[in-house]
């Protein structure tokens, strides 16, 4: 366009040195002029900044060489402390083991030891309560004694001076009779407690004789309230705790049998027993059947623990023993047949003896 002096954009002529030609030339020279244009560059001076860093770090530069040695010494100190911690922990463990052996024996008896400790804590609690009760009872006794002395003094003041001799003799005789009656009541009550305790222990030992564990002793003690405390102790007089449900129920049954046995009127009580027998176990159940016939002349017992679906007569070993026992006069079997739908289920009632 410059050489031919013509603008092909607007399709007009552009004579040399004309305004149009000059405009075309300015466009052609635009890139070159922009490249040659000087650009002012602003520079940051970091001399002061890095100078301060250099001065501040100068004190640490000399220590760089000793860092590795310092790390090594710190590691040695750490290992030494860890070794001391391990020794202290082993010492603590040995002391605990020694304490356990001194108190409760070997580790194999830890379960029994924990039970002993629990019983010991319970004994301390009961001991404290008993001591508190004793203190309260002593205060009550002293208060009642003071009241009795005051009443006797007041009674002596109210007594006439000229009382006939016969009245005084009659009063002495009445007092002696009253004291004799009280002593007789106490003696009869004590004898009854001893007899009840003897009968209960006899029944209890017979009830648990087929059990693998030895049971304790039933102890009846008269308290200050005039009632009986019922305790379960061993041969050495220590309270037996944690007994199974079977032992607990046998204790109650033994006391019930003892009450019936010591009844002087000889009333014949019947017995009706249901599902609780399932908590006894085979040994308890066998002892139960052997002992009940001695106390109860007629018994009706509903029990599922004699049933065995896979046996020929649907009874297990203990059930067959009772079947052949002459003291068992009648036996019924309630049985649900196999492979029945829910809507077809029914119960067979069969007399097998």
pLDDT, residue 276, reads 57
Contact present, 295 and 283 (Cβ < 8 Å): no
Contact present, 284 and 250 (Cβ < 8 Å): yes
pLDDT, residue 243, reads 59
pLDDT, residue 322, reads 82
How many residues does this entry show for the chain? 353
What does the alpha-carbon distance between residue 306 and residue 245 come to, in Å, rounded to a whole number?
A: 19
24 is written with which tokens?
């075309």
pLDDT, residue 241, reads 67
Q: Within the chain, how many helices (H) and strands (E) appear? A: 9, 8
Tens digits of residue pLDDT in 122-160: 888 888 888 998 999 999 999 988 888 888 787 777 666
266 is written with which tokens?
């000889």
CA angle 239, 241, 245 (to 5 degrees): 135
What does the alpha-carbon distance between residue 310 and residue 98 come to, in Å, rounded to a whole number?
A: 55
H/E stretch holding 300 = strand 299-301
Tens digits of residue pLDDT in 83-108: 899 889 888 888 877 776 665 544 45
Q: Which stretches of the chain score pLDDT less than 50?
A: 34, 105-107
pLDDT, residue 101, reads 63
pLDDT, residue 221, reads 82
208 burial type by CB count under 10 A (0-12 exposed, 13-18 middle, 19+ buried): buried
Contact present, 280 and 288 (Cβ < 8 Å): yes
User: CA dist 244 to 237, 240, 283, Å?
Assistant: 19, 11, 13
Locate all alpha helices (DSSP H) within 18-66, ordered by sequence.
19-28, 30-35, 47-61
Between the two ends of the chain, the Cα-to-Cα distance in Å is 137
312 is written with which tokens?
């020929």
H/E stretch holding 12 = strand 12-13
pLDDT, residue 95, reads 82
């Amino acid at each position: 366009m410059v050489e031919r002096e013509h603008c092909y954009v607007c399709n007009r002529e552009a004579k040399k040195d004309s305004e149009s030609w000059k405009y075309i030339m300015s466009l052609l020279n635009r890139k070159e002029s922009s490249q040659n244009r000087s650009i002012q560059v602003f520079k940051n001076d970091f001399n002061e900044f890095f100078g301060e860093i250099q001065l501040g770090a100068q004190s640490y530069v000399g220590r760089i060489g000793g860092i590795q040695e310092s790390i090594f010494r710190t590691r040695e100190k750490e290992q030494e402390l860890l070794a001391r911690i391990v020794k202290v922990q082993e010492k603590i463990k040995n002391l605990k083991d020694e304490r356990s052996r001194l108190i409760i024996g070997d580790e194999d008896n830890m379960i029994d030891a924990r039970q002993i400790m629990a019983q010991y804590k319970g004994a301390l609690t009961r001991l404290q309560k008993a001591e508190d009760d004793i203190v309260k009872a002593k205060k009550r006794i002293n208060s009642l004694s003071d009241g009795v002395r005051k009443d006797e003094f007041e009674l002596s003041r109210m007594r006439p001076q000229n009382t006939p001799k016969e009245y005084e003799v009659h009063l002495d005789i009445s007092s002696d009779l009253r004291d004799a009656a009280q002593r007789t009541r106490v003696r009869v009550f004590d004898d009854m407690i001893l007899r009840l305790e003897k009968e209960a222990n006899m029944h209890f030992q017979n009830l648990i004789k087929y059990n693998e564990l030895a049971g304790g002793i039933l102890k009846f003690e008269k308290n200050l309230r005039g009632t009986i405390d019922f305790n379960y102790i061993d041969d050495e007089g220590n309270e037996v705790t944690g007994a199974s449900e079977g032992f607990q129920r046998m204790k109650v049954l033994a006391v019930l049998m003892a009450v019936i046995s010591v009844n002087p009127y000889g009333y014949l009580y019947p017995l009706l027993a249901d599902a609780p027998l399932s908590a006894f176990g085979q040994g308890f159940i066998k002892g139960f059947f052997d002992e009940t016939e001695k106390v109860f002349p007629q018994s009706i017992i509903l029990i599922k623990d004699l049933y065995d679906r896979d046996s020929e007569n649907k009874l297990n070993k203990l059930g067959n023993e009772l079947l052949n026992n002459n003291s068992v006069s009648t036996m019924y079997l309630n049985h649900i047949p196999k492979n029945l739908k829910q809507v077809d289920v029914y119960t067979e009632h069969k007399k097998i003896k």
